[in-house]
């Protein structure tokens, strides 16, 4: 299949070319096609969320396990009503406070939502994205758009149209290039069916923000590092596993081709340990990449690494989130064999960054003085 790439920035939405591109994309969605589009978090791979066959094509294009449910995206809060059994007052308040934005709500679903969207669960995940191009597309399509991240399953999520094309070129009808995404990590998934609500996946809305608004919030459970044996996307659905609350969380995620070792501990010691490890890996003939922060770049210069990549200033969690997936892809483009990554502070959005790093890691190494 030929993948059509069209550039639509927020400023283009008022132009004739921009309107035509959105109208074409919306027609593609209504006709059962796949359209990748920018949101404020990461790029999504969209299909008509009420069309079983179209949604099924998402799983094929991504190589996504069928029991990993999808988020339905809407263009206005009221559009969730037909998708849900009811809208509890607490959900209404969350929508009023955090929508549009990177918060996904899990709620009991209505019969309108096809099983293929929810993996057979009796709940559905819904979100109103804060990106003018995404909202224009959903509004023009006139249907909720089911959209997981627009990467091959298991790979780092895409934060630019280039990332989407690298993974899904030739597999989808259209890619809308809306520039780089701003938040950079996926939405926070919040289960509103429990009391207190539970964070199933940390993301763009922080636990601190939710706690301040709701009082108490449960979760998230910290992810086990690295690949779940048998749960690689290509291996399909693993046999005889219990059904977790957030089905997607058991699969390998966000993984660059290189193996990633994540180092956690006092910054000075982490830097020293990574330098030693880089030297050891280099002696074995492996090409080493180091993922660090601006302040530590100098400490690695002249060392054994072939590629140094910075997430940004050490105290800027938002920058780390914005840059994370692009940094992981940069190592693959340079063909490094092993990535040595510094952990980041888990306050605020750092929790989401560390969640992705832990899942991308084949090993997590905690270091301490003494």
Query: Which residue lies nearer to ligand AMP by CB, 189 or 340?
Result: 189
When asked if residue 278 is in the footprint of ligand AMP (CB under 6 A), the reply is no
Query: Which residue lies nearer to Mg ion by CB, 39 or 149?
Result: 149
When asked if residue 160 is in the footprint of ligand AMP (CB under 6 A), the reply is no
Q: How many residues bind ligand AMP (CB under 6 A)?
A: 20
Among 46, 69, 132, 350, binds ligand AMP (CB under 6 A): 69
The item of Mg ion, ligand AMP, none sharing an interface with residue 101, based on CB under 5 to 8 Å by kind, is none
When asked if residue 292 is in the footprint of Mg ion (CB under 5 A), the reply is no
320: its two tokens: 């780390």
When asked if residue 248 is in the footprint of ligand AMP (CB under 6 A), the reply is yes
* Calpha distance 255→233 (Å, rounded): 11
CB 207 within 8 A of CB 28: no
* Calpha distance 223→77 (Å, rounded): 31
The item of ligand AMP, Mg ion, none sharing an interface with residue 198, based on CB under 5 to 8 Å by kind, is none
- Residue 370, C-beta contacts closer than 8 angstroms, at least 6 positions apart: none
| Minimum distance from residue 243 beta carbon to ligand AMP (Å) | 10
Which part of the chain contacts ligand AMP (CB under 6 A), choosing from 168-176, 244-252, 298-306, 343-351?
Answer: 244-252
When asked if residue 252 is in the footprint of Mg ion (CB under 5 A), the reply is no
When asked if residue 41 is in the footprint of Mg ion (CB under 5 A), the reply is no
Give start and end residues of each alpha helix (H) in the chain. Answer: 16-30, 52-62, 89-98, 115-118, 132-141, 161-168, 207-214, 267-283, 297-300, 317-333, 350-360
Which part of the chain contacts ligand AMP (CB under 6 A), choosing from 91-99, 232-240, 243-251, 267-275?
Answer: 243-251
* Calpha distance 2→99 (Å, rounded): 35
When asked if residue 219 is in the footprint of ligand AMP (CB under 6 A), the reply is no
CA dihedral 130, 133, 137, 140 (to 10 degrees): 100
When asked if residue 311 is in the footprint of ligand AMP (CB under 6 A), the reply is no
The item of ligand AMP, Mg ion, none sharing an interface with residue 121, based on CB under 5 to 8 Å by kind, is ligand AMP
When asked if residue 200 is in the footprint of ligand AMP (CB under 6 A), the reply is yes
Query: Which residue lies nearer to ligand AMP by CB, 153 or 275?
Result: 153
| Minimum distance from residue 71 beta carbon to ligand AMP (Å) | 5
* Calpha distance 131→19 (Å, rounded): 16
Query: Which residue lies nearer to Mg ion by CB, 43 or 98?
Result: 43
CB 23 within 8 A of CB 13: no
* Calpha distance 24→157 (Å, rounded): 25
* Calpha distance 151→247 (Å, rounded): 18
- Distance between alpha carbon 68 and the CA centroid of its chain, in Å? 14
- Residue 182, C-beta contacts closer than 8 angstroms, at least 6 positions apart: 40, 322
> Which one, of 261, 265, 266, lies nearest residue 291 by Cα?
261
When asked if residue 125 is in the footprint of ligand AMP (CB under 6 A), the reply is yes
| Minimum distance from residue 144 beta carbon to ligand AMP (Å) | 13
When asked if residue 71 is in the footprint of ligand AMP (CB under 6 A), the reply is yes
| Minimum distance from residue 69 beta carbon to Mg ion (Å) | 11
* Calpha distance 42→333 (Å, rounded): 19
142: its two tokens: 């006139």
Residues that bind Mg ion (CB under 5 A): 148-149
Residues that bind ligand AMP (CB under 6 A): 68-71, 106, 118, 121, 123-125, 148-149, 186, 189, 200-201, 246-249
């Amino acid at each position: 299949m030929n993948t059509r790439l069209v550039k639509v920035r927020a400023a283009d939405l008022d132009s004739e070319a921009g309107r035509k591109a959105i109208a074409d994309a919306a027609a593609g969605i209504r006709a059962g096609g796949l359209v990748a589009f920018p949101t404020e978090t990461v790029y999504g791979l969209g299909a008509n969320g009420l069309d079983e066959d179209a949604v099924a094509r998402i799983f094929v294009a991504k190589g996504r396990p069928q029991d990993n449910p999808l988020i339905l995206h809407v263009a206005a809060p009221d559009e969730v009503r037909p998708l849900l059994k009811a809208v509890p007052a607490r959900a209404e308040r969350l929508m009023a406070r955090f929508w549009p934005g990177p918060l996904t709500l899990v709620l009991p679903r209505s019969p309108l939502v096809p099983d293929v969207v929810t993996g057979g669960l009796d709940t559905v995940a819904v979100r109103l994205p804060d990106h003018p191009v995404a909202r224009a597309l959903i509004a023009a399509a006139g249907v909720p758009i089911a959209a997981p991240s627009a990467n091959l399953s298991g790979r780092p999520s895409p934060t630019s149209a280039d990332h989407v094309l690298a993974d899904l070129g030739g597999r989808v009808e259209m890619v809308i290039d809306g520039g780089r995404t701003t938040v950079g990590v996926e939405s926070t998934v919040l289960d509103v069916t429990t009391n207190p609500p539970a964070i199933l996946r940390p993301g763009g809305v922080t636990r601190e923000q939710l706690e301040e608004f709701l009082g108490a919030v449960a979760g998230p459970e910290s992810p086990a590092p690295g690949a779940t044996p048998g749960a690689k996307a290509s291996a399909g659905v693993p046999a005889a596993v219990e059904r977790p609350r957030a089905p997607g969380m058991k699969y390998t995620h966000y993984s660059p081709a290189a193996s990633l070792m994540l180092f956690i501990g006092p910054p000075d010691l982490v830097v020293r340990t990574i330098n030693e490890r880089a030297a050891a890996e280099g002696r074995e003939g492996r090409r080493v990449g180091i993922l660090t922060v601006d302040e530590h770049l100098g400490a690695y210069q002249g060392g054994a690494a072939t590629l140094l990549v910075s997430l940004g200033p050490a105290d800027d969690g938002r920058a780390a989130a914005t840059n994370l997936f692009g940094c992981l892809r940069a190592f693959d483009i340079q063909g490094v064999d092993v990535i040595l990554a510094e952990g980041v502070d888990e306050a605020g959005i750092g929790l989401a960054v560390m969640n992705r790093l832990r899942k991308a890691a084949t090993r997590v190494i905690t270091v301490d003085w003494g």
